[in-house]
Structures are given as structure tokens and as C-alpha cells.
């Protein structure tokens, strides 16, 4: 994904190759999505970016069905909701290849077709996810995300957060840290054992980020 994005910076935007890594990292860290920086500063068409970057990825070779993750999701006793910075076609494609597209009740995605779209970690994106999922109480929201920026923003909203980090031992972001998505039940076991806690479990969404740019 990063290579495709950097190629787009050079070939489509005209950013000097030696500056791409720093600029791409700056946009991602500042806006949560490289594309957000491209639209703000380079007048890039988000749908063109989607076609030439996200949709061009050979995902069939990169993503395989994850039976273990499917089993974990089936065991969750709550509403499960996808909350992603990806455009819908890319998000759905990833979910389908993982074999978990039927394990969620809905999807909040970043709509590239809307001018000046919002995305994580912008506050409006979290409010939009709650509206989409039909949730009013932030304390009933849990987010699993690989972006520290998104995790920090979600915590400000009062969500419980799990940082899916490259190395969990080195992360101080979120309420919990894991470096393998399959370890999620270890840090939030109560969500798989609803009778052992007093949360209104049927009203709380789990938001899983499936794709970032």
C-alpha cells in the first residue's frame, strides 16, 4: 500500500521522489489519511486515487481467509461494526477476502465521493460512526485500530480502545495494546462472556479498522 501511495505522489502529483517519504508520512500523521493531505494541498481527485491506488492492489495475493478471526468474531456477544478510513469498495473487498464480510452488522467508511470528506481521527467521523451504528453512549463503544492517532482521538470521545501495534510492548496508546488481532479476547474477555459483566452488551458496537492509507 505504501509503495502504491508513493508511486502516486511521484507520477500523478509530481512530488520529487526524494521528498515523497517525508511528505507522505507528514500527511498521514497530520490527517490520519495520506489522501486527505493530497486533496487539501494538491487538489487530487479522491476517486482517481482510489482507482489508481486502492483498487489496483493485488489483494487476492496479499489477503487470505482468516478462519481464526472468523471464529473470534462469531463469539462476540455484541453488535460488530466496521469503521474504516477506506472507501467502501476497498473495505468490502478486504472483508470478503478475509472471509468475515458476514460477521458485521454495518460499515462506516470514508466516502471519497463527497467533497471535503471527513475521516479518522477527525471528531465528525467518530460521531458519524456512532450515528450509523445507532449508539448514543460513547462508553458503549470499543475501537480496535492500528493507528495511534485514531486510538488517541477515540479515547477523547470516551471509547474503550485497543491499539493493534507493531509491538504491543512499545505502545502506550489506548486502554489495551496487542500486536496480533487474534489476542483481542485476551484483553477484553468480558465481551465473549456477557453474563460476567453488567454492560448493555447488545447495544455496543465493536469497530474494526480494516484498511488504512
pLDDT of residue 2: 85
In a domain, 213, yes or no: no
Answer yes or no: do 73 and 121 share one domain: yes
pTM: 0.89
Domain that holds residue 92: 61-208
Answer yes or no: do 149 and 51 share one domain: no
Answer yes or no: do 40 and 68 share one domain: no
Segment 2-18 mean pLDDT = 95
Confidence check: pLDDT of 198 > 90: no
Segment 67-91 mean pLDDT = 96
Rounded Cα distance, 109 and 151, in Å: 17
Answer yes or no: do 114 and 178 share one domain: yes
Q: What is the DSSP string of 27-54?
A: HHHHHSSHHHHHHHHH---HHHHHHHTG
Confidence check: pLDDT of 125 > 60: yes
pLDDT of residue 199: 47
pLDDT of residue 194: 63
pLDDT of residue 36: 94
Confidence check: pLDDT of 5 > 70: yes
Confidence check: pLDDT of 52 > 60: yes
CATH number, domain with residue 52:
1.10.150.450
Antiparallel, parallel or unpaired: β 142-145 and 106-108: unpaired
90 grid coordinates: 476497498
pLDDT of residue 206: 46
Confidence check: pLDDT of 212 > 90: no
3-7: long-range contacts, CB 8 A cutoff, minimum separation 24: 4/52, 4/53, 4/56, 4/57, 5/34, 5/53, 5/213
pLDDT of residue 200: 45
Rounded Cα distance, 159 and 208, in Å: 13
Rounded Cα distance, 83 and 128, in Å: 10
* CA-closest candidate to residue 160, choices 136, 179, 187: 187
Task: Report how many domains make up the chain.
Answer: 2
Rounded Cα distance, 172 and 162, in Å: 11
pLDDT of residue 44: 96
Answer yes or no: do 129 and 179 share one domain: yes
Which residue has cell 460513547? 138
Answer yes or no: do 127 and 192 share one domain: yes
From residue 40, how far is each of 21, 89, 105 by CA, in Å? 18, 23, 33
pLDDT of residue 1: 86
Answer yes or no: do 83 and 154 share one domain: yes
pLDDT of residue 209: 52
Confidence check: pLDDT of 136 > 80: yes
Tens digits of residue pLDDT in 139-149: 999 999 999 99
Confidence check: pLDDT of 176 > 50: yes
Segment 5-15 mean pLDDT = 96
- Domain-terminating residue out of 40, 57, 74: 57
Amino acid at each position: 500500500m505504501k509503495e502504491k501511495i508513493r508511486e502516486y505522489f511521484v507520477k500523478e502529483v509530481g512530488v520529487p521522489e526524494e521528498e515523497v517519504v517525508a511528505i507522505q508520512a507528514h500527511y498521514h500523521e497530520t490527517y490520519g489519511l495520506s489522501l486527505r493531505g493530497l486533496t487539501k494541498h494538491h487538489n487530487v481527485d479522491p476517486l482517481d486515487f482510489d482507482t489508481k491506488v486502492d483498487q489496483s492492489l493485488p489483494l487476492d495475493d496479499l489477503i487470505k481467509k482468516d478462519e481464526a478471526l472468523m471464529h473470534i468474531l462469531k463469539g462476540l456477544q455484541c453488535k460488530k461494526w466496521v469503521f474504516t478510513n477506506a472507501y467502501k469498495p476497498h473495505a468490502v473487498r478486504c472483508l470478503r477476502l478475509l472471509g468475515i464480510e458476514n460477521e458485521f452488522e454495518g460499515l462506516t467508511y470514508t466516502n471519497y465521493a463527497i467533497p471535503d470528506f471527513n475521516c479518522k481521527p477527525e471528531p465528525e467521523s467518530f460521531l458519524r460512526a456512532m450515528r450509523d451504528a445507532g449508539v448514543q453512549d460513547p462508553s458503549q463503544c470499543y475501537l480496535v485500530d492500528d493507528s495511534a492517532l485514531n486510538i488517541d482521538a477515540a479515547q477523547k470521545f470516551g471509547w474503550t480502545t485497543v491499539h493493534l501495534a507493531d509491538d504491543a510492548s512499545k505502545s502506550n496508546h489506548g486502554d489495551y495494546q496487542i500486536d496480533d488481532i487474534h489476542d483481542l479476547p485476551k484483553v477484553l474477555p468480558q465481551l465473549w462472556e456477557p453474563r460476567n459483566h453488567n454492560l448493555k452488551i447488545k447495544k455496543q458496537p465493536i469497530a474494526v479498522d480494516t484498511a488504512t492509507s
